[in-house]
Amino acid sequence: MPINKATMKSKLVLLFLLIPFATATSQNFSYKGYLKYLSGFNSGNTFSPIYYNGIVHQRLETTTKFGEYFILKADVRNRLFHGFSVDDAGLYQSILEMDNGWKDLTFVPFSNNDFIFQTVIDRLQFTADYNEWQFNLGRQRLNWGKSMVWSPNDLFNNYAFLDFDYEERPGSDAVHLSYSYSFASDVQLAFKPGKAKNQSVYAAMWRTNIESIAYDIQFILGKFHSDWVLGAGWAGYIQNAGFSGELSVFNPSEKTTLASSFGLNYQFENGLFAQTEFLYNGGYASNQTNSSLFTPPSPKNLFPARQAFYANASFSITPLTQAGIGIMSSLDQQIHAILPQINFSLTQDIDFFIVAQIFRGDLLANAATQQNALYLRIKWSY
């Protein structure tokens, strides 16, 4: 079996690599991507020892159009890991080999004591587009969220806000059909098969725009694992500020769970952009771990506390330098994160980014020895 799986994997990789060449002469092929290097320094509050991790990260996104109606989108994420986490444990490789999709599209082509190389095909999506109709099959991103940080309406591919280096966020292996009947109105159906019983997700969404008050609204009905879910979301304005939010009610056999987030954003005349978001996380369980902070959470349980808020302010120091600071905190649990960041545009296509993640609070103190993290990232986009 391992041989078969490996063979299938190499065939897939080969197929993936051939797509661009087979169609490179065609005007219907386009690509983009980036190459970046992330340096991470982690430490406890004594700042000794300091652990170093580095990631060389390359991404290629391809779009191939076949005639007027068909599109194939294939994106690959290649990462070469080195540093403390690689030297420390083989556990790291086993984590990197995991793929939560219906098809395993995550590979570790080589690894030794110093380096691990991981390849993930995180979009592999066939699209058929016919007037108001669109059909998508494969690994795709089904983004049904309206909020920025926590998304109870994102039943298919929720994401960890603090995983800042995964800018594209994960996709899901799904079938999706949409019918658009006006500029902001459509009906969507989606199905994501699970690997095991009660792990599938299927849902329908209706969304529309109320022009008179300039609001987008949406309603969702579906099945999330073993729960029925009823959801609603909105995005509109209060005066000149943006106001958006989501709520989902999960109704399993034992207990009804409500998850809701809503927030405001505003740009001041001096360019300062301010953003807030509040989360009520009804699925919180007192014995849960902190993993939802760093790995994609369930829409039912988005944070290791019942209530949370996020506030962020960002502004341009110079036309080429953007700085910001975010605060993530909880009202009912001792958990706080301070997230300062700064980005320098070095050239048209090269950016240098510095971000710190400073965690405080009992909940994290007991769970993490590395409460202070500093990341430096250089990125060339092509």
What is the contact surface with other proteins in residues (CB under 8 A)? 32, 34, 63, 71, 73, 127, 129, 132, 134, 140-143, 145, 167-169, 180, 182-184, 186, 209, 211, 214, 216, 235-237, 240-242, 244, 265-269, 271, 273, 314, 316, 319-320, 322, 324, 345, 348-349, 351, 381-382
Q: How far is the CB of 88 from other proteins (least distance, A)?
A: 31
Q: How far is the CB of 50 from other proteins (least distance, A)?
A: 30
Angstrom CA distances, 300 to 17, 218, 222, 329, stand at 37, 18, 13, 19
Nearer to other proteins, 140 or 301 (CB): 140
Q: Quote the CA–CA distance of 115 and 92 in Å, as a whole number.
A: 11
Q: How far is the CB of 271 from other proteins (least distance, A)?
A: 6
Return the closest-CA partner of residue 260 out of 241, 233, 286: 233
Nearer to other proteins, 136 or 371 (CB): 136
Nearer to other proteins, 68 or 254 (CB): 68
Q: How far is the CB of 121 from other proteins (least distance, A)?
A: 16
Q: How far is the CB of 135 from other proteins (least distance, A)?
A: 13
Q: What share of the chain is helix, strand, coil (3-state, %, to 5)?
A: 10, 55, 35
**Following DSSP, what letter does each residue of 59-93 receive, concatenated?**
EEEEEEEETTTEEEEEEEEEEEEEEHHHHH-THHH
Q: Quote the CA–CA distance of 292 and 290 in Å, as a whole number.
A: 6
> CB burial class (10 A; 0-12, 13-18, 19+) of residue 355?
buried
Token representation of residue 202: 């299927």
Nearer to other proteins, 115 or 273 (CB): 273
Determine the distance from the C-alpha atom of residue 102 to the mean position of all C-alpha atoms in its chain, rounded to a whole number.
Answer: 18
Return the closest-CA partner of residue 354 out of 86, 165, 167, 160: 165
Nearer to other proteins, 227 or 277 (CB): 277
Q: How far is the CB of 361 from other proteins (least distance, A)?
A: 28
Q: How far is the CB of 301 from other proteins (least distance, A)?
A: 21
Nearer to other proteins, 64 or 372 (CB): 64
Q: How far is the CB of 197 from other proteins (least distance, A)?
A: 29
Nearer to other proteins, 43 or 58 (CB): 58
Nearer to other proteins, 24 or 346 (CB): 346
Token representation of residue 135: 């059909």
Amino acid identity at 44:
G
> 185-192 and 50-66: which strand pairing?
unpaired
State the DSSP H helix or E strand holding residue 139, giving kind and residue range, or none if neither.
strand 133-140
Token representation of residue 45: 């509050």
